[in-house]
Structure 1
């Protein structure tokens, strides 16, 4: 469906052309995999690029299975149904929240470096990832962004399951998703090349300065 994250970003950009060069609009990528997608959009649409860094909270016996997520400011999302079904203890959740929040803050410092964060107040935010599965990290990111009182939040992703996309539409202004295949296994299944994005790539892309429309 997509060659790689650059290809996905370019295809997603084509659905966002009405935001090209629009003031008070910022592209926000989710590290690490969402940043290359967001970078293509920000660069081609002459928009600033920033990040939020929610961290997945995995189940006790399967860290890849998300039961929630938490952002650097402590805003979190939990899948209460999954937590109850798996019998996850409060002690485990508190421990993982503390650990993942600390890691989120560390990564934010590393990725931003000396660069100050963008002021999200009254901005239109294009929140971008390389795909959505359970939606936990995106939901935590949304809660974190809402604290800053943006004008609107628009989630833009190449691919995701229909039920998750429908659920997101209930809580934010708009969701743009290029494909909602069924059955949906994992985001990487819809890319020909889906390597792990490393820290150095994110750091380099965060040095991005938007082009002016005339450029």
Structure 2
């Protein structure tokens, strides 16, 4: 095991990102498990914390296998290799996407409430998750933040398979991982405690970030572009 839990993973990851402390950074966690990791990074960098909402499109008969992902703003990423290997039809993909779009809309309301996203125009966006497996969700997240005007994108995770930046197709400016093991089965194998992150914990993290960076949050509330 590399990490006790997501808080420990976040602290270890934050130590790898200190070179960003002099930049205009916004830290964006991927709900749910990426948010407690991102909170530690935001605290270490003294940066505002926000979320980047994306949903994995799981293969219907093997939901844990990502055949793609969707994000806010209509972003959609499909893994053609997984589709070929599993034989999933266009109709099945559309059905899964329709369902996940509904979940995405519901979570936008649940997590953001009345708050607008923190503005990203011209800033460095640090996209954080609790690990990277296929990369589909992270790729969707990076495209979302690029579309929102981020000048530079850093994708940061505690653990990812060896050689993982090659999977990102040039979508990020910097890729950072604490560990890159050769033998990678699932993200949870590298955590002592990888229990599911509750919605209440996500909201609590965001509330603490809002309180710590009220100025940035107010700017987001007032910015009509958010």
TM over 0.5: yes
Q: TM-score, normalised by structure 2?
A: 0.89
Question: Are the aligned partners of 1:126 and 1:154 in contact in 2 as well (CA < 8 Å)?
Answer: yes
Q: 1:211 to 1:90 in 2, by over 3 A?
A: closer
Equivalent in the alignment of 1:11: 12
Equivalent in the alignment of 1:74: 74
Distance 2:186 2:46 in 1: 31
Gaps in structure 2 of 5+ consecutive residues: 215-226
1:144 aligns with 2:147: no
The correspondence of residues 24-173 of structure 1 with structure 2, limited to 5 A, is: 24-168=24-168, 170-173=170-173
1:210 aligns with 2:217: no
Q: TM-score, normalised by structure 1?
A: 0.93
Superposed CA RMSD: 1.6
Distance 2:171 2:198 in 1: 31
Question: Are the aligned partners of 1:72 and 1:101 in contact in 2 as well (CA < 8 Å)?
Answer: no
Question: Are the aligned partners of 2:139 and 2:171 in contact in 1 as well (CA < 8 Å)?
Answer: no
More moved, 26-35 vs 70-79:
70-79
Gaps in structure 1 of 5+ consecutive residues: none
More moved, 41-50 vs 197-206:
41-50
Shift of 1:23: 5.5
Shift of 1:210: 3.4
Question: Are the aligned partners of 2:32 and 2:202 in contact in 1 as well (CA < 8 Å)?
Answer: yes
Distance 2:100 2:184 in 1: 27
Distance 1:124 1:34 in 2: 18
Question: Are the aligned partners of 1:74 and 1:101 in contact in 2 as well (CA < 8 Å)?
Answer: no
More moved, 158-167 vs 29-38:
158-167
SS at match of 2:184: coil
Distance 2:12 2:141 in 1: 23
More moved, 158-167 vs 193-202:
158-167
Shift of 1:173: 0.4
Number of residues of Structure 1 aligned to a counterpart in Structure 2: 211
Distance 2:131 2:172 in 1: 17
- The C-alpha deviation readout for 1:87-132, integer Å capped at 9, x for no partner, is 1111111121121122112112111122221111111001000000
Distance 1:74 1:98 in 2: 12
Distance 1:153 1:23 in 2: 12
